[in-house]
Structure 1
Amino acid sequence: MPERYRSIIDVHVILERGNEILLLERQGTGYCDGMLHLPSGHLDEGEPVTEGAAREAYEEVGVRIDPTDLRLATVVHHRQRTDLARVGMFFATAHWDGEPYNAEPHKCGKLLWCDPTVLPSNTIDYPAAGINAYLTGTPLALHDW
């Protein structure tokens, strides 16, 4: 009997400030260095998705988010390679405690507040797909299938 399908679950946080969202420039990770991404990461074993998203926002940009303040903006089923797919849960919020700062300077070059309707050209395609789905109210997006 074939093994059940399993996928990596990613959590992404769209921090909303007026008409802008926060993006991070990756550096020193070996994956898309110099490109922009949302505060994000992998869900830990046994962790609810909203708690994972709040944890990642705290680890990466130092803000504390009550998981109940996160609203599910979209889900992106992303095919990273032919043999690897991921499910990205994109959450949005305009409510957090603290001022965002670069809490992981060994992984992040800088933080940028950007207009989500005109993303910088160096935004990674996967989070860009999630941001576009968030803007259009699309509950589920397929990316690179």
Structure 2
Amino acid sequence: MSPLPQLRCVIDVMVLLHRDDGRVLLLRRPGGSLTEGLLAPPGGHVGRGETFADGALREVRAEVGVAVDPLDLEFCHLVHHRDPHGEDRVGIAFTTQRWSGEPRGGEPRKCSALVWADPARPPADCAPYSAAVLRQFARGALISTDGL
């Protein structure tokens, strides 16, 4: 049996800003992305030379304008995902219940609206990948697959 080729994939990070009422913040993605017009948590790709946590903190600051203390960021879920184009991705979700500032659309090109939603019942217009992660988070699962 020959060895399998090495998997190379994009690493996504997302931050679930989690309010006391159990809702998490989602943003509506405008045109030009795989999730065009759909809701998703703040997040994006990890940059070369960046830690997963640093990428998550950078993305949440840029996309919704809040600062999270690194000590308040908690790992909550890992997902191996295959996108609609067949590309493998690894998603790392973090959560926090503490942040500084009021969430707002920090990058108009990347956010057209903010919505607080129940993660156990993601809105119908939530990106499928994000909805899968939210449901797993609500169940307390630490790892899952999606689209495989």
For 1:13, the equivalent position in structure 2 comes to 15
1:119: how far off? 1.5
Q: Alignment RMSD, CA only?
A: 1.6
Correspondence for 2:144 among 123, 141, 144: 141
Any unmatched runs of 5+ in structure 2? Answer: none
Alpha-carbon contact 1:43-1:49 (below 8 Å) kept: yes
For 1:70, the equivalent position in structure 2 comes to 73
CA distances 1:101-120 after superposition (whole Å, capped 9, x unpaired): 00011221100111222211
1:2: how far off? 7.7
CA distances 1:76-124 after superposition (whole Å, capped 9, x unpaired): 1001146410000000001111110000112211001112222110101
Amino acid at match of 1:124: A
Alpha-carbon contact 2:78-2:93 (below 8 Å) kept: yes
Q: Matched residues, percent identical?
A: 39
Amino acid at match of 2:61: Y
Alpha-carbon contact 1:40-1:56 (below 8 Å) kept: yes
**Matched pairs, number:** 145
1:116 to 2:119 alignment: yes
**Larger strand fraction of residues:** 1
CA distances 1:30-88 after superposition (whole Å, capped 9, x unpaired): 43222100101000011111111010000100001122211111101001146410000
Q: Which runs of 4+ in 1 moved over 6 A?
A: none
CA distance in 1, matches of 2:70, 2:126: 26
Alpha-carbon contact 2:121-2:135 (below 8 Å) kept: no
